[in-house]
Structure 1
Amino acid sequence: MAGSRSPRLSRESVMRAALQLLGEVGIDGLSTRRLAERLGVQSPTLYWHFRNKGELLAAMAEAIMRERHRQPLPAPGQSWQAWFIANAHSFRQALLEYRDGARLHAGTRPRGEVFGDVEAKLGVLVDAGFAPAQAIELLLAVSRFVVGWVLEEQAAPAAAPVTGEAPDAARYPLAAQGWAALAEESADQVFDRQLRLFVAGAEAMAGQSRGAG
């Protein structure tokens, strides 16, 4: 059995080919059969490197985060709030760089060395006054917000990535007014403002954690 492993392939080369194929056919078209054809091997050969498709998808998602998502700790003098917002922007951009990037990432969980990045981020928030459980909740909440936001962006028409079709102003005047205001801004601007809602709520939560109650 060992002799059947293709000398041309490695775990890395399989994963890189899968990322390239993702860009061409999307996640729905990404199959082990198609990937094997791209690599010039039989499908069972891939299982020398990845036990199943789920493991391959998880490795692809980790590669995108490792290479496209910058995860620096706050610069000297930078507030946790500014770092938190910048980090979320970077996460969003990393997902947007790949076709179906958000769908690929959705459902993944930290594992292995990824916990080192998580621990460093938790340390920043704990130093800012959050309890460890609160810090985890905040990271989880913003992560799911970003993934959900990008899922919508990658599924929406390019012409209206945030608001879509405007409501009838005569029947829905409040909605129409809000839609019109959002339509004047870019998706980046709306995303940034909504991130700041997280920060505002988190600041109140951190204050409570330091209180007597």
Structure 2
Amino acid sequence: MAGRRRWSTDEILDGAAELLRTGDAESFSVRRLAAELGTDSSSLYRHFRSKTELLRAVADRILLAAMEGHRPEGDWKQRITTLALRVREAFGQQPQLASVWGRHASSGAGSRLVMEEVLQALRASGLADEEVPGRYHRIVILIVSLISSEAGVSALSPDEHEQGMELFRVAVLGADPERFPALAHFARAIQPLGADRRAAFEEILGAQLAHIEASVGPGRPAGA
């Protein structure tokens, strides 16, 4: 009887990514992936020591794809903004994987490429070296949070989206003006969370970068 096929690391990651596209990190399991590949869990554990390690590797491939062909251009703020939008677009094409990144992060080559670019850009801003790690941490938390949140909306089915819109209309347009006077006053101007997300993404990130710029003293050399 022929033995089970041996799957390469890349093939396992392809299978995991496909499984995550139709599900989520909560329902994902190594056992289920093994069943999809027609093998047993032990063969996958030869490549990845745990489910978390496998999920991190899947997320890292998205970051690698985002960084492929990337060439830093513009000033430090443009570099960070461009990078953030590239990562946003990459996860936007596979929104189910964004929650994996947000929860499990990544420690592979893709993650290191993103980290390197953000750190280099922050050094070019004129921040003192001792300030860079803290600023880096806040920027990454912001980017991950925005992308994960947006992906959660993008992953909804049409029926789920319409249901959410109806609930939004009831909650906002139907607000009792005596109990919720401000909400009733602004009801027709308030947009649902799914509206105009790219502009909101860039504006929120831009505000953080402007805050950093304002903290750098005039004439302060990069990395000083």
**Could you tell me the TM-score, scaled by structure 2's length?**
0.75
Q: 1:136 to 1:73 in 2, by over 3 A?
A: farther
What's the counterpart of residue 17 of structure 1?
15
What's the counterpart of residue 144 of structure 1?
141
Does the Cα contact within 8 Å between 2:56 and 2:105 map onto a contact in 1?
yes
Which one-letter code corresponds to 2:189 in the other structure? Answer: A
Other structure's SS at 1:50 match: coil
What's the counterpart of residue 166 of structure 1?
172
Which one-letter code corresponds to 2:83 in the other structure? Answer: N
What's the counterpart of residue 37 of structure 1?
35
CA distance in 1, matches of 2:22, 2:83: 28
What's the counterpart of residue 180 of structure 1?
189
Q: Runs of 4+ in structure 1 displaced over 6 angstroms? A: none
Q: Deviations over 1:69-116 (max 9, x none)?
A: 5683532xx121222222212222222222432321124254567435
How far 1:192 moved relative to its partner? 1.4
How far 1:191 moved relative to its partner? 1.5
Q: Deviations over 1:110-163 (max 9, x none)?
A: 4567435423432232122012343332332122112222333333464679xx
CA RMSD of aligned residues (A): 3.2
Does the Cα contact within 8 Å between 2:17 and 2:97 map onto a contact in 1?
no
CA distance in 2, matches of 1:158, 1:69: 31
Select the residue among 197, 207, 214 that pairs with 1:204: 214
CA distance in 2, matches of 1:33, 1:209: 58
How far 1:179 moved relative to its partner? 7.5
Does the Cα contact within 8 Å between 2:12 and 2:44 map onto a contact in 1?
yes
Q: 1:68 to 1:169 in 2, by over 3 A?
A: farther
How far 1:18 moved relative to its partner? 0.3
What's the counterpart of residue 157 of structure 2?
none
Select the residue among 24, 28, 31 that pairs with 2:26: 28
Structure 2 unmatched ranges of 5 or more:
154-159
CA distance in 2, matches of 1:116, 1:150: 18
Other structure's SS at 1:51 match: coil
Structure 1 unmatched ranges of 5 or more:
none
Which one-letter code corresponds to 1:18 in the other structure? Answer: A
> In the alignment, does 2:61 pair up with 1:95?
no
How far 1:206 moved relative to its partner? 2.2
